[in-house]
C-alpha cells in the first residue's frame, strides 16, 4: 500500500501537535518549570504545528524545506539534553546557569522514560517522516 506525502506530513503534524500539547500540559497544568534547553526545544517544536498545518491545506511540498530545519535543530537540542541527563556531557557545558538545571529529571515513567527522551523521540520521528515525505515528493 502506498502512503501519500500528505498523509506522512499529516502524521508529522499530529506528533508535533501532541508534543506541543504535552509540553503545555506539563508546564501549565502539572506545574513543571521548563529549563533553558526545554525552552529551546519548544522554540523548534511550536512553529512546526503551524507550518505543517499551513502546508497541508492544500498540500505544498515546499513545506518540507521550512519544517525540516526546525525539526533538525530541535533534534540536536533534544539529543544534547538527553546526553546531559545521561551524564555523558558535563553540567558546566550547558546554558542552564540560572533556574532549573537542565540535567534535572522531573518525571520518570517505567524507570527510563523522561521528558527529554519524549522530546528526542518526537523530533526523531518528525524528522524521519519529513525525510520520507521529501523522498516521496521528489520521485
pLDDT along the chain (139 residues), means of 10: 86 97 90 86 96 93 93 96 84 70 65 81 97 87
Query: How much is the pLDDT for 42?
Result: 94
Beta partners for residue 125, in sequence order: none
Separation of alpha carbons 104 and 85, rounded Å: 7
Query: How confident is the model at residue 72, as a pLDDT?
Result: 97
Judge if the upstream peptide bond of residue 33 is cis by omega within 30 degrees of 0.
no
CATH number, domain 5-137, options 1.20.1550, 1.10.4160, 3.30.450, 1.10.287: 1.20.1550
Cell of 28: 501549565
Quick one: how far is CA 61 from the chain centroid? 21
Amino acid at each position: 500500500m502506498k502512503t501519500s506525502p500528505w498523509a506522512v506530513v499529516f502524521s508529522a503534524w499530529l506528533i508535533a501537535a501532541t508534543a506541543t500539547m504535552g509540553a503545555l500540559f506539563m508546564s501549565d497544568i502539572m506545574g513543571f518549570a521548563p529549563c533553558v534547553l526545554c525552552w529551546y526545544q519548544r522554540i523548534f517544536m511550536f512553529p512546526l504545528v503551524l507550518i505543517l498545518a499551513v502546508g497541508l491545506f492544500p498540500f505544498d511540498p515546499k513545506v518540507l524545506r521550512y519544517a525540516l530545519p526546525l525539526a533538525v535543530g530541535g533534534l540536536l537540542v533534544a539529543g544534547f539534553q538527553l546526553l546531559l541527563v545521561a551524564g555523558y556531557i558535563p553540567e558546566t557545558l550547558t546554558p542552564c546557569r540560572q533556574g532549573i538545571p537542565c540535567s534535572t529529571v522531573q518525571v520518570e515513567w517505567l524507570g527510563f522514560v523522561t521528558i527529554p527522551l519524549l522530546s528526542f523521540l518526537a523530533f526523531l520521528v518528525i524528522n524521519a517522516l519529513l525525510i520520507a515525505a521529501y523522498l516521496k515528493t521528489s520521485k
